[in-house]
Structure 1
């Protein structure tokens, strides 16, 4: 693939200021395009990307979780997990349960309707993942995952330093 691919896509006349700038913009552009495609699929089922993520977390855990635990596991940080859970509860995809030991703690559980919705979506989501990134080899995917994790490490260091 050409070195200036992103530069051409963005119709940028001059070279990027640095390889770091180009890499960040490549990640952001790719993320945006993936989010758009995934978001379109999720909307067909009446969900947002974040709502889908909550349902996947709950299904994967296999038991109710406190709202704050769900928030800490989200792929994308959401400022208001309560509102997100409210909307899923309105659709009867999750239900809230108060903790008997500590009434301040609220657990969220996926309902059978929520599990059924995810089951209906699984093949289409998997197919879209393959369509979006299945052209990469296993080695390329392994390298990509390793490099993205390595790139994110600076975010963890910076956020810990500012706390």
Structure 2
């Protein structure tokens, strides 16, 4: 339940000076909007990340893909299962190492990724709307330094 419009915001104490607090709030606002947009395509942000990475790499091992999208290997299995069931990705094994599973986009996956990428670009445009190109570049640079 939302507070009435005339209710003042609570005092934040030290939270207002914490970088993590502001990162979390920005992250939550951003995720809420993109999650709603991607849900219309029956995708999560992690699923989109997999499609995006596979769109610019001929194939990737499941382990490298998990690391690149910030997931664990065990959490990748059900995610890839869902994408494979939809015919968007396929698993490949190499003759020289049958234990290693590699993933690649199917032709349908590439078409679907194109659609999903439009949704994500619209979201990105919304996020960037109050920022200049140099602001965006500086923000990305600074975020890259957080927690180094």
TM range (shorter): 0.7 to 0.9
Deviation of residue 134 (structure 1)?
A: 2.4
Would you tell me which structure has more strand in proportion to its own residues? 2
1:91 aligns with 2:86: yes
Q: Are the structure 2 counterparts of residues 29 and 17 from structure 1 closer, same or farther at C-alpha, using a change threshold of 3 Å?
A: closer
Residues 122-161 of structure 1: CA deviation (Å, up to 9, x unaligned): 33321221112222012211221121111131xxxxxxxx
Tell me which of the two structures has the higher relative contact order, counting C-alpha pairs closer than 8 angstroms and 6 or more residues apart: 2
1:28 aligns with 2:24: yes
Aligned-partner Cα distance in 2 for 1:12–1:146: 32
1:40 corresponding residue in structure 2: 36
1:117 aligns with 2:115: no
Aligned-partner Cα distance in 1 for 2:108–2:13: 51
Query: Which aligned pairs between 1:14-93 and structure 2 lie closer than 5 A?
Result: 14-16=12-14, 19=17, 21=18, 23-61=19-57, 63-74=58-69, 76-78=70-72, 80-93=75-88
Q: Are the structure 2 counterparts of residues 148 and 116 from structure 1 closer, same or farther at C-alpha, using a change threshold of 3 Å?
A: same
Deviation of residue 55 (structure 1)?
A: 0.6
Q: Are the structure 2 counterparts of residues 30 and 14 from structure 1 closer, same or farther at C-alpha, using a change threshold of 3 Å?
A: closer
What count of residue pairs does the alignment treat as equivalent? 140
Deviation of residue 106 (structure 1)?
A: 0.8
| Structure 1 unaligned residues grouped into runs of 5+ | 1-9, 154-163
Deviation of residue 18 (structure 1)?
A: 7.0
Aligned-partner Cα distance in 2 for 1:109–1:14: 47
> Given the alignment, which residue of 125, 134, 146 partners 1:139?
134
| Structure 2 unaligned residues grouped into runs of 5+ | 1-7
